[in-house]
C-alpha cells in the first residue's frame, strides 16, 4: 500500500462499496459521536449496527441522512463482518502515520536526542 493511501479501506456492504479515508475530519466526526476513538472501538466490540453506520458515514464523508440506508446494509451484510473491518479503520485513525514515515521520524528523533 502506498503512503498516500495508507489506511484507506474499501468496504463492500450490500450492493455498494464505500471508501473510507483516515482524515482529520473523519476522526473528529467519530470522536464527537463516541466521545473519542476509544469509544468507537468499544462500539465495534459490542457490534452495534448504528455505530457501524456512524463510522461509515464519517469515514466515507457521507451525509447524515444516509445513515438509515447504511444501517440496513450493515444489518444485511452482517454486523460481525463489518465491525471487524471498521475496527481496522479506527486503529489507523489512532496511528495515522504510515510505518515507513514513522520509522524515518524515529531515526531523526534518535539523532537529535544524542
Against a cut of 0.85, is the pTM above it? no
- Please choose, from the candidates 5, 99, 8, the residue with its C-alpha nearest in 3D space to the C-alpha of residue 61: 8
Express each pLDDT in 45-91 by its tens digit: 999 999 999 999 999 999 999 999 999 999 999 999 999 999 999 99
C-alpha closest to that of 22 among 37, 12, 32: 37
What is the grid cell recorded at 65?
441522512
DSSP string, 27-52: HHHHHHHHTSHHHHHHHHHTT-HHHH
Amino acid at each position: 500500500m502506498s503512503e498516500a493511501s495508507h489506511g484507506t479501506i474499501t468496504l463492500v456492504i450490500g450492493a455498494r462499496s464505500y471508501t473510507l479515508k483516515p482524515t482529520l475530519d473523519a476522526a473528529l466526526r467519530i470522536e464527537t459521536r463516541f466521545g473519542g476513538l476509544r469509544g468507537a472501538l468499544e462500539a465495534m466490540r459490542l457490534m452495534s449496527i448504528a455505530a457501524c453506520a456512524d463510522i461509515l458515514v464519517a469515514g466515507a464523508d457521507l451525509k447524515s441522512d444516509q445513515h438509515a440506508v447504511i444501517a440496513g446494509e450493515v444489518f444485511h451484510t452482517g454486523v460481525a463482518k463489518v465491525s471487524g473491518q471498521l475496527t481496522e479503520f479506527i486503529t489507523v485513525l489512532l496511528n495515522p502515520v504510515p510505518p515507513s514515515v514513522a520509522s524515518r521520524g524515529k531515526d531523526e528523533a534518535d539523532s537529535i536526542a544524542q
